[in-house]
Amino acid sequence: MSRNGLTFWIGATFFLVAALAMTQIVGNEYPFFACYVILQFIVLAVAWSILGGYAGYVNFGTSAFFGVGVYTAVFLFKAFGAPLAVQIAAAAAIGAFLGFALGLLTLRMQGIFFSIATIALTIIIETSVTNWRYVGGAAGIQLQRPLVTWPFDSYVQMLFFVQALLVVLAVAIARYIQGSWIGRGLQALKDDELAAECTGVPTLRLKVTACVICGALMCATGAPAAMYVQYADPSSAFNLNYSVSALAMSLIGGTAHWAGPIVGAILLGVTQQMLTVTISSEVNVLVLGVMLVLFVVVAPEGIIGLIRKAGRKRAGGDA
């Protein structure tokens, strides 16, 4: 266990050093633009799998949390000129609160009813933001990036590195949960909620905890997105594409292991980026749909399930 932990943290450190080195070596901004999106999806997919995978509560509200993160950053930046770190921390706090409220209100519902409630949440919040003049309303808002600080040459490079940090944070949390009593409790309640409760598992509290962590991570990863495009508008910040992608990446990667969503996010994220550049941004939605159908039919346990089935155990290294 502890040797596993050491391997994980060495891998994580190596990943961060590589990301930092990339910002120093690569001059062209495009790779950072592309990789930023993939890193963002890794965080979303990993966060999604904490509630959707471990607990089995399918959440269509990723875009609600993501959008709230975006607009938390927009508001703080416009009102107070808050620095990026504050934007992210505040977004995480608001995301945690939102997750808590959503969890308390809806996690008594099981299965499809919870999922529908999360869609409703997205619509409610998007409508509210659309009618909020201060942050630009439906027309959106332009943002001027502040000057970048050492050691980065450009703001996009810095955002890329910040997103890499969020990836490590999200994966470390997901990994911790999987190996801890929280993970075993979530797995038990996913299998059978009443039996779990009668074995001493505080099911509601664990589900709300998962929802809080999931919400905080999703909001936190949304916060830098405003500065990434220097523009925010409700229909792109709350785009349903985030919900569908996070879900598809988790399921395609496999939710039984924390590495699953990472594999799924990299696979789908890279494919989407390549298709967007080479063909069109609409095709990638189609590909996402086709791949999701394929995996649900052929490999319901995802890539991780396929790997396990093949008998080759793999952990770490994917980050």
Catalog residues that contact another protein under the rule CB under 8 A. 181, 184-185, 187-188, 190-192, 194-204, 256
**Shortest separation between residue 202's beta carbon and another protein, angstroms:** 5
Residue closer to another protein by CB (options 91, 188) is: 188
Residue closer to another protein by CB (options 78, 184) is: 184
Residue closer to another protein by CB (options 110, 280) is: 110
d(CA 319, CA 308): 18
**Shortest separation between residue 187's beta carbon and another protein, angstroms:** 6
- 249, 52 Cβ separation under 8 angstroms: no
What is the crossing angle of helices 30-49 and 240-253, to 10°? 70
Residue closer to another protein by CB (options 171, 189) is: 189
Instruction: Go through 196-216 and write b for each residue having 16 or more CB atoms within 10 A of its CB, e for each that does not.
Output: beeeebebeebbbbbbbbbbb
**Shortest separation between residue 147's beta carbon and another protein, angstroms:** 50
d(CA 105, CA 93): 18
Residue closer to another protein by CB (options 145, 190) is: 190
Residue type, 192: D
**Shortest separation between residue 298's beta carbon and another protein, angstroms:** 20
Residue type, 175: R
Q: 12 is written with which tokens?
A: 């994580």
**Shortest separation between residue 199's beta carbon and another protein, angstroms:** 5
**Shortest separation between residue 92's beta carbon and another protein, angstroms:** 28
DSSP state letter for 141: E
Residue closer to another protein by CB (options 109, 191) is: 191
- 291, 252 Cβ separation under 8 angstroms: yes
> Which run of H or of E encompasses 156?
helix 155-179
Residue closer to another protein by CB (options 203, 245) is: 203
**Shortest separation between residue 206's beta carbon and another protein, angstroms:** 9
**Shortest separation between residue 195's beta carbon and another protein, angstroms:** 4
Residue closer to another protein by CB (options 79, 205) is: 205
Strands 141-142 and 231-232 turn out to be antiparallel
